[in-house]
Structure 1
């Protein structure tokens, strides 16, 4: 075969290869991967060179060094002699606490406001409407400042207090104080009794649902479960010899002026930074959840309500047993996004010096200069919390989904 014949045979082969969508796609993907790897290598090598030039050692060995700073709220043992790793763990626990309580409060308040938006009472519906429009259109950071500087800084000073609920809880500029439970020997029996009560309540709920599907008869699941959750731990409390007692806060009204106020170590104390952040997050997120709940309820056909009323079911049970279970299929997906937003918005705690993960991590960063490692910890923690929340809500969404027959 001559050279001209070989070239003429190879040209159509190359043309067909370039016109093949799979071959073109593979080529572009290889080019993109090479570009990304090259860019990543450039970033990593440039970062390592900059760290070496500034005599900053990379890695996480700094987490074992002594922190040397205090934290105003710690859910675990911590002191100034603790390590940086322990300090970051304390900030992580504070973030979890704010997120968990904020989600609980926002869900309860959001559902109440969302149902109130659809109330036939004009005053209730207008009040709920004003709440939603006012709260969700004011930036969250401003609301945190409002609760911290305008509300919790206007309460009495450390030498005074506001008392409420039969003189059990007290509020002043140092925070909210109340009785702290102290657990003695045998307290674990109460915990096991509570777990057993929860398992029994869940089993009764499953049995009641199957019984109702088979016979149509209802069972008082809520009151039965509530009775078990209260009764079993109380019985275990007396069987164990009453090992739990309350440590009430002690308020010193006499003596030198500097020593007046609550005695340290008595009762529990929720610092004002925690209260302001939790209230702002819960109230702000509840305004969005309220609209999600309202949309979910309105997505259910009005014929469902009419059918329930035709069967003689009152409005309250109709909403609880007929409308809300169907609306949850619409509510859960956007509700998940609000839970994720609340968890991530808790990082605004740094604005009022609440020791959450970002605030404590920022202090560690300033002292060590380990910016890459600290930012990496932030990203991994928030990513993990978001994935865990999404996974749980996706599982719950699947349980609430309609089952095809």
Structure 2
């Protein structure tokens, strides 16, 4: 018989990366699962942003007048889509932990931004006497101190999910762009609009009319594909759920809880995209 009392028992394990939550082994199992959900959301949101930007750039590249840009964009899209996501995730992780310098010799990417095998460090606001103030990372003898930081596991999952989903979004965006009537673009050119104005004010608003449903499907796939993060040791919902299963022995209950939480995340993603689409329709953009 199913029993859910284990959710109130002490977890009995620590979580290496808790994000915005505070957690220790004495706290209940349900809070450990909440940390897992938070880590899933925490890695999915930047991956969604990366996928959207990359997909848009690749879609515009595939429709560029330059043959070189078309071939390059097409090669990236086809190459990424034909390789399993799990392999891409493992490649990203191995490159990060093998090729990057040690934390004692971090690579400066920009003022206050350092990249190493220990992860990515960047400026981050912290509470101060007069309100929020910026904490800047500083390279010290053994590692980078100060600021905010994300682990190489987080970076690998974000990059892999963003690039993989971006390749699929590129085709979605390209189909929407190609569906825009050429007469609208010609009219904008006649009025003296620049290339950027045509893209921002005519091309993208019109393309959104057809790409929102397919884009929603890709966003849902990204959230679900984040479960592969367990392969590189990132403590997402599946990782925490598997540890809970091993600690409690409640296999059916743990899997059921994970399924319910992923269903909730998917419903929230779908609701957000539907609200965005409805808002555009109310403004008369769709």
Instruction: Work out whether the TM-score is over 0.5.
Output: yes
Tell me if the contact between 1:116 and 1:128 (Cα under 8 Å) persists in the aligned partners: yes
Deviations 1:40-61 (A, max 9, x none): xxxxxxxx3xxxxxxxxx4222
Partner residue, 2:85: 140
Tell me the number of residue pairs that the alignment of Structure 1 and Structure 2 aligns: 283
- Deviation, structure 1 residue 95: 0.3
Distance 1:345 1:138 in 2: 14
Which of 94, 118, 140 is the equivalent residue of 1:174? 118
TM-score, normalised to structure 1's length? 0.66
Q: Which ranges of structure 2 fall in alignment gaps of 5 or more residues?
A: none
Is the 8 Å Cα contact of residues 329 and 401 (structure 1) preserved in structure 2?
no
In structure 2, the partner of 1:319 is 199
Structure 2 counterparts to residues 177-196 of structure 1, below 5 A: 177-184=121-128
Shift of residue 91, structure 1, vs aligned partner: 0.7
Q: Does 1:297 align with 2:177?
A: yes
User: Is this contact kept in 1: 2:106–2:144, CA < 8 A?
Assistant: no
Aligned to 2:33: 88
Q: Is the 8 Å Cα contact of residues 173 and 272 (structure 1) preserved in structure 2?
A: yes
Q: CA deviation at 1:310?
A: 2.5
- 2:9 is matched with 65
* Structure 1 residue 315 displacement after superposition: 2.8
What is the CA-CA distance between 1:82 and the residue it aligns to? 2.3
Q: Work out whether 1:261 is the aligned partner of 2:261.
A: no
Shift of 1:73: 0.9
Which position in structure 1 is the counterpart of 2:268?
388
Bigger Cα Rg: 1
Who is 1:246 aligned against? 134
Q: TM-score, normalised by structure 2?
A: 0.92
SS at match of 2:125: strand
Cα deviation per residue 1:201-253 (whole Å; 9 max; x = unaligned)?
Answer: xxxxxxxxxxxxxxxxxxxxxxxxxxxxxxxxxxxxxxxx4x22223335442
Shift of 1:180: 2.8
CA drift of 1:146 comes to: 0.5
Measure the CA separation in 1 of the matches of 2:65 and 2:137. 45
From 147, 158, 168, give the equivalent of 1:288: 168
Match of residue 52, structure 2, among 107, 111, 129: 107
Partners in 1 of 2:4 and 2:51 — Cα distance? 37
Give 1:3-402 correspondences, 5 Å limit: 48=1, 58-75=2-19, 76-166=21-111, 168-184=112-128, 241=130, 243-253=131-141, 260-262=142-144, 266-401=146-281
Unaligned stretches of 5+ residues in structure 1: 1-47, 49-57, 186-240, 254-259
Deviation at 1:401, TM superposition (A): 4.3
Per-residue deviation, 1:285: 0.4
